Structure 1
Amino acid sequence: MNDNTTNQLQQRPVDDPGLGVEAPSWVSTNPHAAKHAEGRVVVAFAVSALSALASVVAYFAIPLDVQIKIGSFHSSLHNVVFGTTMGLAIFLIGVGAVTWGRNLMDDDEVAQERHAPPSSEEARTDALVTLSEGIRASGVARRKVILASLGGALGLFALPLVVTLADMGPWPTGRKRAQTIERTIFAEATPQKPIRLVNDITWKPIKAADVEIGQLINAQPENLQDYHEVEYQQEKAKSSIILVRMDPASINIPASRKDWQVSGILCYSKICTHVGCPITLWEQQTHHLLCPCHQSTFDLGNSGRVVFGPAARSLPQLKIGVDTEGYLIATQDFTVPVGPSFFERDSRNDFQEGDA
C-alpha cells in the first residue's frame, strides 16, 4: 500500500456511496394529494387562530373564582380553559408547519463536503443562492393561502400573549392612580373627623407638648390599625411618616404652609422620592434628612426640598394640627403623591425653592 492510498483511506475510510436515484414524492405527482395537504395546513392554521381568540375570550369572560373538579383534579376553570386554548393554538401552528414541510416542500437530497470555517466569499454567495432556492422550494410564492393562514395564526397567537400583560396590574389611568398610588389613608381624615398620629412602635397617640426640639419620631396614622395582611402592608408603605420638632426661628416656613405645623413640629412622608427607601437618618444641627440608599438629602427646615443626591422632588409634607386634647392630628391627605416618581405623575403641585 503506497502513501497516496494511505492518505486517501485516512481522509475517506469508506467509499463515497453517492446519492441514489430518488423517487418523486407522492404529492409532487398527484395534484389532488397536494391540494388535500394544502387544505390540512390551512385548517390547522385557521383552527390555531380561533384557539388564540378563544383564549383571549376566556381570559376576560371566565371569573377567577370559578373552580373545576374532576376526581382528584381541582383547579381554576379560568386557568384550565386559557391554558388549553393557548396550548392548542401553538400546537396547531406546529402541526401545520410540519405538514407543510413534509408534504408540500421539495424533498431533494443534497450532499455537501465539510469545510473549515470561516466560509469563503464564494461559499457565502452559494448560501444565499441556497436560501433563495429553499424559499422557492417551500412554495411560498405560489401557495398564498397557506402563507396568509400562517400569518393569521402567528399574529393571533401573539394576541393572548399581549393580553396576559394585564396580570402585571391595572392600567394606570388617572382615575386608577387617584384611587391607589396617589392616595394614602390620610384621605379618610376630615376637619370634623381628624386622624391622630401615633408612634409606629407603641401605637400611642403623640401629644405635641411631649415632642422635644431636635427629636424625630417615626409615626403612622391611627386608622392604619383598621387594615390587615396585604392591605395593611400596602397602606403602610404609603402612609409612613416622620415628625420632627425644630426651633421655629431657625427654619423657613413658607406663608402658604404657616398652618401646616404646630410650634415647629413638622410632618413629612418617610418614603424617599428617589426609589422609595424609608428615611430616618436625621441631622439635628442642619435639619437635613439623609436617605441611606443613595444619599439623597432633604432640608426639613425648608419644606423638604432636595439639597443633594439623585432625588428630583421635595419630600412631601403633611399638614398637621392638634385636637382639643393636645394630640397631633391630620385633617387631610398629602397634596402630592408620596414615594418615587412615575411617568404619569403630575408634578405641578410639588414644592420648589422660592415658593411662597
Structure 2
Amino acid sequence: MARTKGGLTVTNPTNPTPDHDSTAPATREHGAAPALTDRFENPGLPPHVPRRADDDPKAARRAEMQVVGLFTISALASIAFVVAYFAIDPDLKGYLLGIGEVNLYHVALGVTMGLSLLCIGLGAIHWAKTLMPDEEVVEERHPQASDDDDRLAVGRQLSHGWRSSQLNRRAAILGSAGGALGLFALPLVLPVVAGLGPRPGRGLYTTNWEEGTRLMIDPSGAAIRAADVTQGSVFHVMPDGWVGHAAVEEHGAEEAMLAKAKDQVILVRLDPEIIQSQKQRDWGYEGIVAYSKVCTHVGCPVALYEQQTHHLLCPCHQSTFDMTDDCKVIFGPAKRPLPQLPITVDGEGYIVAAGAFREPIGPSFWERNRPGLLGVDET
C-alpha cells in the first residue's frame, strides 16, 4: 500500500507486495534479522487538520480575493514594464538612497519585471496553501498494466481533482492567473523584439564615398598615388575629410564615429593575372582594388590580409573572403561578398572613388534588395 501527500507517493510498510508464496508458513532462521514489520509499528496517517478556508466560506472567499489581487498586481506590473520601456529615456539618471547614482530606466524595468514575477509566485503559493486540496490520500498498489476500469477510475480522479481545485467555481482566480501569466510574457518578449532596433532603411546604403573623393590613409590622412601602391601592399583608407581629429572638429564626434564605422575601406594591389572577376577588374585600377572593411556577417572590421593566399580574414568570427574572386565568402558565417568600391585616378595620379558603393555595406538585412533604396545606378 502507498500513501500520497502533496504529490509524493510512499510505500506503506504494513502491506508490502509479497515476493513469495503467501500460503507458505512464515519462518525465521536462527539469528536472522527480524522482519521490517516486526521492528516498526505502522504510525498510520496523521489526523487531518482543516484550514480556515475549508470550514469558513468567508475565509475561502477572502483567500480567493487575495490570490486575485496578487495576480492583478502582476498584470499591472507587466503593463507598467511596457509603458516604462517606451516612455522613459534610456539615459535618464537619478539617485537612490544607499545606492547612489543609477540609471532610472534600468531600475524601472527591473522593479516592474521583478514585481510581476514575484506576485505570480506569491499568488500561486497562497492559492495552493489556502484553497487547493490538502487531504492525505492512501492509494493501494495495483498492477502496472491498466485495464478499462483503472482508466475510468483515473478519469474520475482527475475530474474530482478539477472540481476540488474549485477552478470551475472560482472563475476569478482562473481568469486573473491566466491574465497575469499571459501579460508576464510581454517583459520577456518585448526587449527581444523591440531591442532589434529601428529598421535600417537607407542607413546602410549611404556612405561618404562619392565620385571624385580621394582615398586617404587612416589615420595619417595622406593621399595615395597609384604609382606608390606596390603589389601585395595594403592600405586602410577613409574618404577625404573624414580622417582623424580633423573629422571630429569639422563634423562632430558622433558623425565622425559613424563615418568610421561605415566608410572604412581596405585597398590592395593584386597581380591582374590572378583576378578572376571582370567586374573586379573594371572597378579597380591596374590591379588595385578597394573593398569595404565592414564584414557582411555582423559588421566587424575585416582587417587581416594574407598576402600569400590573397584572403581577407575577419578576426571576430573567422569569415574569410577571396580577394582574387571579388571577395566572395570561402569560409565562415558571412553570407555575401564584401562590397567593392569603384576607384580610378585623378589628373594628379591620386586614387579617387569612381562613385559610391553600388550595394549596402555591412551585415545582410531584410531590406537590402528592395528597389529604389540605393539611390545610385545599380547596374
Task: Say which SS state the counterpart of residue 214 (structure 2) adopts.
Answer: strand
The equivalent of 1:240 in structure 2 is 264
1:17-69 alpha-carbon deviations (Å, 9 max, x no partner): 11244244332322222222212211221121111111211222121233232
2:306 aligns with: 281
Larger deviation, residues 120-129 vs 15-24: 120-129
Q: Which residue number corresponds to residue 15 of structure 2?
A: none
- State percent identity of aligned pairs: 37
2:341 corresponds to: 318
1:113-132 equivalence runs, <5 A:
120-122=144-146
In the alignment, is residue 196 of structure 1 matched against residue 221 of structure 2? no
AA aligned opposite 2:130: N
- Does the 8 A contact of 1:199 with 1:217 survive in 2? no
- Distance between the aligned counterparts of 1:63 and 1:294, measured in 2? 37
TM-score (norm 1): 0.74
Instruction: Provide the C-alpha distance between the structure 2 equivalents of 1:245 and 1:47, rounded to a whole number of angstroms.
Output: 66
Query: Which consecutive residues of structure 2, in runs of 5 or more, have no partner in the other structure?
Result: 1-26, 373-377
The Cα of 1:206 is off from its aligned counterpart by: 1.2
> Is the CA contact 1:66–1:76 (under 8 Å) kept in the aligned structure 2?
yes
Report whether the alignment pairs 1:99 with 2:123: no
Q: Look up the SS of the partner of 2:235 in the other structure.
A: strand
Distance of aligned partners of 1:234 and 1:3 in 2 relative to their CA distance in 1, 3 Å threshold? farther
Deviation at 1:102, TM superposition (A): 1.7
Change (3 A) 1:308 1:25: closer
Partner of 1:352: none
- Aligned counterparts of 1:291 and 1:84: Cα–Cα separation in 2: 44
2:289 matched residue in structure 1: 266
The whole-number CA distance in structure 2 between the counterparts of 1:270 and 1:65 is 31
Report if the CA contact (8 A) 1:272-1:279 is conserved: no
Against the structure 1 CA distance between its residues 9 and 100, is the aligned structure 2 distance closer, same or farther, given a 3 Å change threshold? Answer: same
Q: Could you say if the C-alpha distance between residues 256 and 159 of structure 1 is closer, same or farther in structure 2, counting changes exceeding 3 Å? A: same
Distance of 2:218 and 2:165 partners within structure 1: 71
| Residues 303, 312 of structure 2: 8 Å contact kept | no
CA distance in 2, matches of 1:149, 1:195: 64
How does the TM-score come out when normalised to structure 2?
Answer: 0.70
- How many residues end up aligned between the 2 structures? 330
Within a 5 Å distance, the mapping from 1:155-234 to structure 2 comes to 155-165=182-192, 168-171=195-198, 173-175=199-201, 178-179=202-203, 182-183=204-205, 187-191=207-211, 194-200=212-218, 202-212=220-230, 214-222=231-239, 223-225=242-244, 226=247
SS at match of 2:48: coil
Q: 1: CA distance between counterparts of 2:133 and 2:277? A: 83
What code does the residue aligned with 1:242 have? I
CA offsets 1:310-348 (integer angstroms, 9 cap, x no match):
765343210223345432223643211234534443288
AA aligned to 1:59 is Y
Which residue matches 2:42? 16
**Equivalents in 1 of 2:134, 2:265: separation in Å?**
73
Separation (CA, whole Å) in 2 of partners of 1:237 and 1:160: 32
Q: What is the root-mean-square deviation of aligned Cα atoms in Å? A: 4.2
Corresponding residue SS for 2:168: coil
User: Aligned pair in 2 of structure 1 residues 323, 137: CA closer, same or farther (>3 Å)?
Assistant: same
In structure 2, C-alpha distance between the alignment counterparts of 1:273 and 1:67, rounded to whole Å: 36
* Whole-Å separation in 2 of the counterparts to 1:296 and 1:29: 76
Does 2:107 correspond to 1:80? yes
- Aligned-partner Cα distance in 1 for 2:96–2:370: 54
Separation in 2 of the partners of 1:188 and 1:11?
A: 90
Which residue of structure 2 aligns with residue 153 of structure 1? 180
What secondary structure sits across from 1:69 in the alignment?
strand
Over 3 Å counting, the alpha-carbon distance change for 1:164 and 1:268 in structure 2 is: closer
Which residue is equivalent to 2:20? none
| Matching of residues 322-341 of structure 1 within 5 Å | 322-330=345-353, 332-341=355-364
CA contact (8 A) 1:282 1:290 kept: no
What secondary structure, in the 3-state scheme, does the structure 2 residue paired with 1:85 have? helix
TM-superposed CA distance for 1:153, in Å, is 0.7
Secondary structure at the counterpart of residue 150 of structure 1: helix
Equivalent residue for 1:42, pick from 58, 68, 92? 68
Distance between the aligned counterparts of 2:36 and 2:257, measured in 1? 74
Quick check: 61-70 or 331-340, which moved more? 331-340
Cα distance change of structure 1 residues 47 and 294 upon mapping to structure 2, 3 Å threshold: closer
User: Cα–Cα, structure 1 residues 347 and 7, in superposed 2: closer, same or farther, change >3 Å?
Assistant: farther
2:237–2:267 CA contact under 8 A, matched in 1: no
How far does residue 147 in structure 1 lie from its aligned partner after superposition? 0.4
Amino acid at match of 2:87: A
CA apart distance, 1:111: 4.7
* Residue aligning to 1:60: 86
SS at 2:164 equivalent: helix
